[in-house]
Every structure is written in C-alpha cells, then in structure tokens.
Amino acid sequence: MATNLLVLSDTHLPKRARELPAQLWAEIEAADAVVHAGDWVNEDALDEMLQRSRKLIACYGNNDGGALPSRLPLVATATVEQVRLAVIHETGPAAGREKRLDEQFPDTDLLIFGHSHIPWDTVTPAGMRLLNPGSPTDRRRQPFCTYMRLTVEGEAVTVELVRLPPRKA
C-alpha cells in the first residue's frame, strides 16, 4: 500500500500570505503525512499544521525565530515505507549541491529542502533524490506558487509538482 506525502516549504505565514490556500489545506488534511522544509515564520502556522495533518515531518528555517527552533529540528528524519528521508531548510549554493549533499547525508535516499522558493528535482551521483517544492505563498522569480505531492511505495517515489492558481488581490 502506498503512502501519500504532501511536501511544502517556505510558507512565510503571515508575511507572504495571511493563510494557505483552501486547496492546500484540503490536501494537507488528506495526506498520510506532511513534510515541511522550514520558514514557517510564526508558531501559529506550525500549530495549525499539527492540528490539521495526520503526521508532520518538519524542520525550522532561517526565518524561524522565537520558539520555532526549540520546537523543530534543524534536520528532520523519518523512514517512509523503505525510503530514508531527511528534511533540511538550506543546502547552500546550487553549484556543487549534489556532491556536497552526498557527503553530508550518506544514509539518505530522499532529501527535501527549501529556502530558494525554486522547485528542484535531481538525483545525486550516489543516487539520492533531492527535492525542493518551491513555495505555496511566495513564488519569487517563478511563474507559479508551488508544492509537491509524493507517492511512496516500497522504495519507489513518484513526484508531482503542483502549481497553484494566482492569488486574488
């Protein structure tokens, strides 16, 4: 039986948006687990995610002050089906990322990160998959706000990048 993950990062609530889109909350509530790669900005967002998700795998980011770093790890880890997962906010520059992360996370099959707000999906020389879901609230230089849906079945991971419709002003 497959495990459905909803993956997001860089929500920046309430600075970049007052709240997450209803479509995203519905998917958060339906997912087997939610993965959040940091930059919550405010504890209320974490508390609501904890209440509305079945399971939360999350870390804190560079914009997460107050009590967030004491409530969340710098690196979150979990095993989903047969996939060893790590979640971190920052991975450094894109140049050399794959080699650098192979060295830092030798026992990881799938590493999810945030920070750039730029969707990313690559495989390292050692075979680790790297994913960045972008941001559902702050598209920066991207054409859309985004998040990801993952299906994990055994060792297999299927990824879908979801584009959110533009927010109404």
**pLDDT digits 0-9 by tens, 104-139:** 999 999 999 999 999 999 999 999 999 999 999 998
- How far is residue 117's CA from residue 45's CA, in Å, rounded to a whole number? 18
Least confident of 9-18, 89-98, 152-161: 9-18
Whether 169 has a pLDDT exceeding 70, the answer reads no
Residue 142: pLDDT band with limits 50, 70, 90 = confident
- How far is residue 57's CA from residue 49's CA, in Å, rounded to a whole number? 11
Least confident of 10-14, 82-86, 124-128: 10-14
Q: What is the pLDDT of residue 141?
A: 85
pTM, two decimals, is 0.95
Q: Give me the percent of the chain exceeding a pLDDT of 90.
A: 89
State phi, psi for 22 to the nearest 5 degrees. Answer: -55, -40
Neighbouring C-beta atoms of residue 30, cutoff 10 Å = 11
Mean pLDDT of 1-21: 90
The dihedral built from the CA positions of residue 76, 116, 51 and 150, taken in this order, carries a sign that is negative
Q: What is the pLDDT of residue 7?
A: 98
Residue with the two structure tokens 């948006």: 17
- Smallest CA-to-CA distance from 39 within 133, 161, 159 is with 133
Residue 156: pLDDT band with limits 50, 70, 90 = very high
Mean pLDDT of 143-161: 97
State phi, psi for 45 to the nearest 5 degrees. Answer: -65, -45
Q: Please give the domain boundaries of the chain with CATH numbers for all domains.
A: 3-163 (3.60.21.10)
Q: What is the pLDDT of residue 136?
A: 96
